[in-house]
Amino acid sequence: MKRLIPLIALFVLVSCQPKDPIEQRIDDLLAQMTLEEKIGQMNQLDPSWSAEEKEPLIAQGLMGSIFNIVDPQEVNRLQRMAVEESRLGIPLLVARDVIHGFRTIYPIPLGQAATFDLALVEEAARLTAEEAVQAGVRWTFSPMVDVARDPRWGRVAEGYGEDTYLTSQMGAAAVRGYQGSDSIVKLAACVKHFAGYAVSESGRDYNSTWIPEIQLRETYLPPFKAALDAGSLSIMCAFNDINGVPASANKHLNVNILRDEWQYDGLLVSDWGSIMNMVSHGIATDRRETAIQSLEAQVEMDMQSNAYLWYLKDLVEQGVVSEQQIDACVRDILRMKFRLGLFDNPYCEVETPQYFQPEALAAAQRAAEESAVLLKNNNALPLTSNLSPLTSKPTVLVCGPLAHNQHDQNGTWCFDKVDSMTITPLMAFRQLAKESKIRLIEQKGKHWSREVSQSNIAQLTRLAKQADVVLYFGGEESILSGEARCRAHLNLPGDQSEQLRALKATGKPVVLTVMAGRPLCIGDDIAAVDAVLYAFHGGTMQGPALANLIMGEVAPSGRLPITFPQAEGQIPLYYNKKNTGRPTDHPVLIDDIPVGAGQFSIGESSYWLEYGDQPLYPFGYGLTYTTFEYGPVVLSDTILDFTPYTLHPTLQVSCIIKNTGNREAVAVPQLYIRDLVGSLTRPVRELKGFQRVSIPAGESRTVTFTLTKEDLAYWHLAEGVDLGADGKYEFSAEQGAFHVWIAPNAAEGEPATFTLK
Ligand code: BGC
């Protein structure tokens, strides 16, 4: 009894604690709601539904959310209907895909990842939220944190590349930016697509995925967890089936992991029509059945399928599903509405929206500058440093299909951009000409990336002959990446390659700037020109950003967030691979025959006959207008046990980086580890940190990273458990030797070694 007294006291204390006010208000509302009203909250429709279909639902409190309306007057009109006409006055959630900017457009997320600049990504998301909320949007379907290792997949543009760590960091930064740190969230984030969407077979959108549990946990789930830990109020399930079960019916993901393991109390929304799509998947015979399966998997809001709206009431009445299941979903939906402060302040208050503010334009320009990756430079860039005093005002030909294309340089998924506000490279160079910094030759007429035209080539050649340097802006139109925009050939579309060769044949230096939504396999084009900036689709301010980089006002600092393959046949190709039993030590092709293999003869090692085992450019790669020398890696200790009792429960890893060139620039040191021997095979490198450090010419800086035991941990089988036993995985570090690098990219650097006791 004595031992029971403290327990009883504790129980009394806990039960006397005032209930969280939001939870109390949710309870009160739920108690008043009819079954229809509860189910209505689980329904989300867009404006493609006619006013006759949708407005009565709103006025009767039978609609939880609308999306794709960005007119604040219209948002307020519909909101008034929900708040003032419906019985309980529950406000609507107003959603929109605000992916890389609302009116002011920032680089596509893949480009943002190339900045390796978390503060900037957070800032861009914060400024994006400021614009979007003025249109009445309170919920964005962003960030997308699908780790993508197949550049054929068109949605590679929408994510942060191939790496789990980088994607986790970037996604969390975006969530912090959208949502801010106030107790009332301005713009709710929605991390998507849960999970494994980017693993679609052969890079074909919506295709099947097969992901073993350990790989799911190690590679694909951590970015979701990081975004939820950063506070994302919602999460969206993916379109794909994963290990045979569509994500919208996947109890393992949505219940076991999301709810039971991660204890997530935010809102899980389906993707567009993904509930009804399960009929096509062949896992349900009709929409009624899809409603059962998604509800069982705790998908709480139905985007555009109407499966819940049409079938859930009958299903409850027939006892197929329970009202408690419905209540659990509605509770999370209402919680999100409270967290957004919608019950107290449902309307959009801005009268004259303030878009394209100087702060937003400056951040967009900086993001575009930092996202461009210099892949090659035979001294062609920057233009200013190569000019003899006689040609201090060079004659520049600005040409190519993306030189003056306000629509396409914004990239995929930016519904609310204003093309006329977009500054193209041609516009930026016209400004430089006006300031007498250059003489400008313009290629006349509009050209498309997919066009083939002999007269265009003839015109280009003629103009190039009059110029000192050719600035060619090529790549992909925005419609070639994004949802359902997958490509089998990752070339420069149309006759761009021929144009580049014709330009080069004039003997003039040719600088190629690529705007694209994905890595392209363009080694031959790169070889044919003098310098290459890989700039992704950079948004509203990409023109001035590129002009600054090309003229040398700013030194490039972007690094590749994804491996560039030499050819499509190498895909998937990523740095974080496992070693084979017969690894190749970078064979060199001589007369098309690989030579110079490592410990095995070449006939017995792992490579492609045409390409050896190397990418075109590795993850993390990028040049600038200076050179950096990385000193040896220095460790604070070489034998670690990480117990709290040791003097240093973390490992400090540092190195000195010297700027050996003649101008200041940003180095992007990357921290990698390798667990040399594990109970499961381990990747040859894993990114665990990165920094951006500006180093003046001739100077050195010491960079230091901290490794914790968690950084060394990975998902493996619990001791004594065989592969295949369900749910017996553990996340922990194993004893033994590790390599650690501080390197300029995933393919360079000399490691130091330490041992985990
Ligand atoms: C996409 C989602 C998007 C949704 C709403 C779907 O087609 O997969 O990423 O958020 O549409 O527009």
The reply to whether 603 and 496 lie within a common domain is no
> What is the model's pLDDT at position 600?
43
Token pair recorded at residue 676: 């040399």
Alpha-carbon distance values, 524 to 143, 497, 567, 591, 649 (Å)? 34, 9, 11, 18, 49
First to last CA, the chain: 45
Q: What is the mean pLDDT of residues 197-222?
A: 97
Q: What is the CATH number of the domain that holds 381?
A: 3.40.50.1700
326 and 462 share one domain: no
- Tell me the pLDDT tens digit for each residue of 273-304: 999 999 999 999 999 999 999 999 999 999 99
pLDDT at 701: 98
For residue 272, the CA-to-ligand 1 centroid distance in Å is 6
> CB of 483 closer than 6 A to ligand 1?
yes
pLDDT for position 752: 97
Residues 202 and 197: their CA atoms lie apart, in Å, by: 12
Q: Report in angstroms the alpha-carbon separations of 509 from 143, 172, 427, 469.
A: 40, 42, 21, 5
Which of the four pLDDT bands, split at 50, 70 and 90, describes residue 723? low
SS (H, E, C) 298-319: CCCEEECCCHHHHHHHHHHHCC
Any domain includes 573: no
* Contact assessment for residue 241 and residue 283, using Cβ atoms and an 8 Å cutoff: yes
The better pLDDT of the pair 207, 612 is held by 207
Asked whether residue 498 falls in the same domain as residue 644, the answer is: no
What lies within 8 Å, CB to CB, of 3 at 6+ separation is: none
Name the domain boundary from 503, 530, 551.
Answer: 551
Q: Give me Rg for the CA atoms of the chain.
A: 28
Question: Residue 47 has what pLDDT?
Answer: 82
- For residues 124 and 107, give the distance between their C-alpha atoms in angstroms, rounded to a whole number: 10
What mean pLDDT comes out for the span 61-85? 96
376 is a domain residue = yes
Measured CA to CA, the distance from residue 203 to residue 201 in angstroms comes to 5
> For residues 449 and 751, what is the distance between their CA atoms, to the nearest angstrom?
43
| CB-ligand 1 contact for 141 (6 Å cutoff) | yes
What average pLDDT does range 140-149 have in this prediction? 98
Please report, rounded to a whole number, the percentage of residues in the chain having pLDDT higher than 70.
93
pLDDT at residue number 647: 63
Shared domain check, 675 and 592: no
- Do 638 and 597 belong to one domain? no
Instruction: Pick the residue whose CA is nearest to atom 12 on ligand 1.
Output: 97
User: CA dist 2 to 6, 7, 13, 14, 205, Å?
Assistant: 8, 9, 17, 19, 64
pLDDT score for 641: 81
Cα 467–chain centre separation: 39
Phi/psi of residue 43, each to 5°?
-115, 135
Which atom of ligand 1 lies nearest, measured to the CA of 142?
A: 10
pLDDT class of 648 with cuts at 50, 70, 90: low
Residue nearest to atom 2 of ligand 1 (CA): 271
Determine the pLDDT at residue 10.
47
3 state SS of 193: strand
User: So what's the pLDDT on residue 445?
Assistant: 82
Residue 268 Cα to ligand 1 midpoint, Å, equals 14
What is the residue whose two structure tokens read 């490691």?
Answer: 751
Mean pLDDT of all residues belonging to the chain? 93
The region of weakest confidence among 160-164, 225-229, 388-392, 726-730 is 388-392
Nearest-CA residue for atom 8 of ligand 1: 271
Measured from the CB, is residue 536 less than 6 Å from ligand 1? Answer: no
Query: 199 and 104: one domain?
Result: yes
* pLDDT tens by residue, 344-391: 999 998 778 899 999 999 999 999 999 999 999 999 999 987 655 556
Do 191 and 111 share a structural domain?
Answer: yes
Report yes or no on 355 lying in a domain. no
The finding on whether 46 has its CB within 6 A of some atom of ligand 1 is no
Give mean pLDDT, residues 433-453.
93
Phi, psi of 356, rounded to the nearest 5 degrees: 50, 40
CATH of the domain at 730: 2.60.40.10
Tell me the pLDDT tens digit for each residue of 576-628.
999 988 887 655 555 555 554 444 445 567 888 888 889 999 999 999 999 99
The answer to whether 121 and 55 are in contact (CB under 8 A) is no
Distance of alpha carbon 655 from alpha carbon 707, whole angstroms? 14
Residue 70 scores a pLDDT above 70: yes
Q: Is residue 623 part of a domain?
A: no
pLDDT tens digit sequence for 650-685: 899 999 999 999 999 999 999 999 999 999 999 999
Exposure string for 413-444, b = 16+ CB within 10 A, e = fewer? bbebbeeebbbbbbbbbbbbbeeebbbbbbbe
Lowest mean pLDDT among 183-192, 526-535, 633-642: 633-642
Are 83 and 195 in the same domain?
A: yes
Residues 311, 290 contacting (CB under 8 angstroms): no
Which residues constitute the domain of residue 123? 4-339
Is the CB–ligand 1 distance for residue 585 below 6 Å?
Answer: no
- Read off the pLDDT band of 20 (50, 70, 90): confident
1 pLDDT above the threshold of 50: no
Under the banding of pLDDT at 50, 70 and 90, the label for residue 729 is: confident
Determine the residue of 193, 237, 272 to mutate for testing ligand 1's pocket, defined as the one with the most ligand atoms within 8 A of the Cβ atom.
Answer: 272
Q: What own/partner pairs with CB < 8 Å and gap ≥ 24 does 706-712 have?
A: 706/650, 706/651, 706/652, 706/653, 707/650, 707/651, 707/652, 707/653, 707/671, 707/673, 707/740, 708/642, 708/649, 708/650, 708/651, 709/642, 709/649, 709/733, 709/756, 711/673, 712/673, 712/675, 712/738, 712/756
Distance in Å, CA 273 to ligand 1 centroid: 9
Q: Whose CA is nearest to atom 6 of ligand 1?
A: 272
Q: Are 313 and 172 part of one and the same domain? A: yes
Give the integer Cα–Cα distance in Å for 171 and 167. Answer: 6
Q: Is 485 a residue whose pLDDT tops 90?
A: yes
Of residues 81 and 388, more confidently modeled: 81
- DSSP strand pairing (651-659 vs 628-630): antiparallel
Nearest CA to ligand 1 atom 11: 272
In a domain, 290, yes or no: yes
Structural domains counted in the chain: 4
- 286 as an active site residue: the answer is no
Residues 556-585 have a mean pLDDT of: 94
Same domain, 77 and 149: yes
- Residue type for position 369: E
Indicate whether residue 74 lines ligand 1 (CB < 6 A).
Answer: no
The pLDDT value recorded for residue 84 is 97
558 within a domain of the structure (yes/no): no
Nearest CA to ligand 1 atom 7: 272
How much is the pLDDT for 726? 59
565 domain residue, yes or no:
no
Max Cα-Cα span within the chain:
98
pLDDT at 589: 52
Calculate how far, in angstroms, residue 271's C-alpha sits from the geometric centre of ligand 1.
6
The CATH number of residue 76's host domain is 3.20.20.300
The token pair that represents 691 in the structure block? 């920094």
- What is the mean pLDDT of the segment spanning 404-419? 97
What tens digit of pLDDT does each residue of 693-712 get? 999 999 999 999 999 999 99
600-635: b (≥16 Cβ within 10 Å) or e: eebeebebbeebbbbbbbbbbbbbbbbebebeebeb
- pLDDT > 90 fraction of the chain, expressed in percent and rounded: 85
Ligand 1, closest atom to CA 238? Answer: 8
107 domain residue, yes or no: yes
Same domain, yes or no: 594 and 680: no
Task: List, in sequence order, every residue forming a beta bridge with 302; answer none if it has no partner.
Answer: 43
Q: How confident is the model at residue 263 (pLDDT cuts 50, 70, 90)?
A: very high
Q: pLDDT for 91-106, tens place per residue?
A: 999 999 999 999 999 9
Q: Which residue has the tokens 């939880």?
A: 64
| pLDDT (tens digit per residue) in 498-525 | 999 999 999 999 999 999 999 999 999 9
**412-426, 578-592, 636-650, 702-716: least confidently modelled range:** 578-592
Confidence band for 195, pLDDT divided at 50, 70 and 90: very high
pLDDT of amino acid 419: 97
- The one catalytic residue in 271, 468, 613, 675 is 271
Same domain? 181 vs 135: yes
Last residue of a domain, one of 502, 532, 551: 551
